[in-house]
Amino acid sequence: MLIAVDKVRAAADDRKREYRVEELAEAAGITTRTLRFYRERKLLQPPRKEGRIAWYGEEHLSRLRMIGELLERGHTLGGIAELIGAGESGRDVAGLIGLEAAIVAPWSDETPVRLDWKELKNAFGDQLTEENTAEAIAQGYISIQDDGITHVSRRLMDATTELVAEGVPLAAVLDASRRTREYVDAIAEIFIEVVSEHLLSALSGDTPLPPGEAARLTERILRVRPLARTVADAQFTLAMDRRVQAEYAELLRQRREYGSEA
pLDDT score at 112: 94
Which DSSP string do the residues of 164-229 spell out, in sequence order? HHTT--HHHHHHHHHHHHHHHHHHHHHHHHHHHHHTSGGGSSSSPPPTTHHHHHHHHHHHHHHHHH
Residue 12 pLDDT exceeds 80:
no
194 closest CA partner among 170, 164, 168, 227: 227
Do residues 44 and 63 lie in contact, with contact meaning Cβ atoms separated by under 8 Å? yes
Mean of pLDDT values over 35-53? 88
Helices 21-28 and 32-40 meet at what angle, rounded to 10? 100
Grouping H, G, I as helix, E, B as strand and the rest as coil, residue 48 is: strand
Provide the pLDDT for residue 177. 95
Inform me whether the pLDDT recorded for 199 exceeds 70. yes
Q: What is the pLDDT of residue 151?
A: 96
Q: Using the predicted structure, report yes or no on whether residue 162 has a pLDDT greater than 80.
A: yes
Q: In what order do the strands lie in the sheet with 148-151?
A: 113-116, 148-151, 142-145
Q: Please tell me the predicted confidence (pLDDT) of residue 8.
A: 40
Structure confidence at residue 222 (pLDDT): 87
Best mean pLDDT range from 201-205, 216-220, 246-250 = 246-250
Max Cα separation, the chain?
Answer: 115
CA 189 and chain centroid, separation: 17
Interatomic CA distance for residues 157 and 143, integer angstroms: 13
Q: From 103, 106, 93, select the one nearest 65 (Cα to Cα).
A: 93
The residue with greater pLDDT, 62 or 168, is: 168
Lowest mean pLDDT segment, chosen from 61-65, 173-177, 186-190? 61-65
Q: What integer is the mean pLDDT of 52-77?
A: 85
Q: Which residues of 107-117 are buried (b: 16+ CB within 10 A; e: fewer)?
A: eeeeeebebee
Higher local confidence (pLDDT), 152 or 78: 152
Residue-wise burial string across 134-166, b where 16 or more C-beta atoms lie within 10 A, e elsewhere: ebbeeeebbeeeeeebebbbeeebeebbeebee
What is the pLDDT of the chain when averaged over all its residues?
Answer: 84
pLDDT band for position 127 (50/70/90)? very high
Question: Can you tell me the mean pLDDT for 106-112?
Answer: 86
Q: How confident is the model over 144-170, as a mean pLDDT?
A: 95
Helices (H) and strands (E) in the chain — how many of each?
A: 11, 6
Determine which of 81-85, 187-191, 243-247 has the lowest per-residue pLDDT on average.
81-85
